[in-house]
């Protein structure tokens, strides 16, 4: 005797939910874009809360955080690793101009490279950046059904990413959950 149709439907839904829960999801985070985007709105991100949010909301197993390495910031790097990020460093450039020193640590190439190195290890990727330089990566992930979300740090993200509006989550709407408390 076959089960009643509603029972079959329940099993089908449960199986879909279980299949989705088993997906391996990685996040690739442009820390400079994230940090500067949030600071431009007048608040600071609690990176520990953000890691928990990624895990709880999207079931992110690994969160790669790309950051320029500044000597003297070891305490920050240790903290980021302790709260669950895989920290990928980029050497920085110190550019002096008119008695001012600007630190440049562009991590775009590293983020793209690691996303592709890890490609076979995840089912879906979350890209955390509003930078249009990631357009081709995001397009590739979307075309191959590997893009879960794009988390942008503010409303002023690259217009190149508008094509992917259905994937975009604006972190500024999560300020109450994710801001650093004093």
Q: Could you write out the DSSP letters of every residue in 105-137? A: ---HHHHHHHHHHTGGG-SEEEEE---GGGHHH
| pLDDT tens-place string over residues 21-48 | 589 999 999 999 999 999 998 999 999 9
Residue 6 has pLDDT above 50, yes or no: no
* Mean pLDDT in residue range 164-168: 96
Residue 1 has pLDDT above 80, yes or no: no
88 — phi, psi (to 5°)?
-115, 120
Domains, in order of start, for the chain: 23-178 (3.40.50.1010)
Query: How sure is the predictor about 15, in pLDDT bands with cuts at 50, 70 and 90?
Result: very low
* Mean pLDDT in residue range 62-78: 94
- The span from the CA of 123 to the CA of 121, in Å, is 7
Helix (DSSP H) and strand (DSSP E) numbers for the chain: 7, 8
With pLDDT > 90 as the criterion, what percentage of the chain qualifies? 63
Least confident of 3-17, 59-73, 163-177: 3-17
Residue 5 has pLDDT above 60, yes or no: no
Pick the more confident residue, 104 or 124. Answer: 124
Average predicted confidence (pLDDT) for the chain: 86
- pLDDT value for 104: 67
């Amino acid at each position: 005797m076959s089960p009643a149709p509603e029972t079959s439907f329940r099993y089908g839904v449960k199986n879909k939910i279980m299949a989705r829960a088993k997906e391996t999801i990685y996040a690739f985070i442009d820390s400079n874009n994230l940090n500067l985007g949030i600071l431009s709105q007048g608040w600071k991100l609690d990176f520990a809360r953000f890691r928990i949010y990624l895990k709880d909301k999207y079931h992110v197993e690994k969160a790669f955080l790309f950051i320029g390495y500044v000597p003297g910031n070891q305490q920050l790097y240790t903290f980021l690793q302790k709260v669950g990020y895989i920290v990928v460093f980029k050497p920085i450039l110190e550019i002096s101009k008119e008695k001012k020193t600007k630190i440049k640590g562009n991590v775009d190439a590293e983020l793209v490279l690691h996303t592709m190195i890890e490609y076979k290890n995840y089912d879906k990727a979350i890209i955390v950046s509003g930078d249009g330089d990631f357009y081709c990566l995001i397009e590739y992930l979307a075309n191959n059904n590997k893009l879960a979300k794009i988390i942008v740090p503010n409303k002023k993200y690259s217009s190149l990413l508008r094509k992917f509006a259905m994937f975009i989550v604006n972190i500024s709407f999560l300020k109450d959950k994710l801001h650093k408390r004093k």
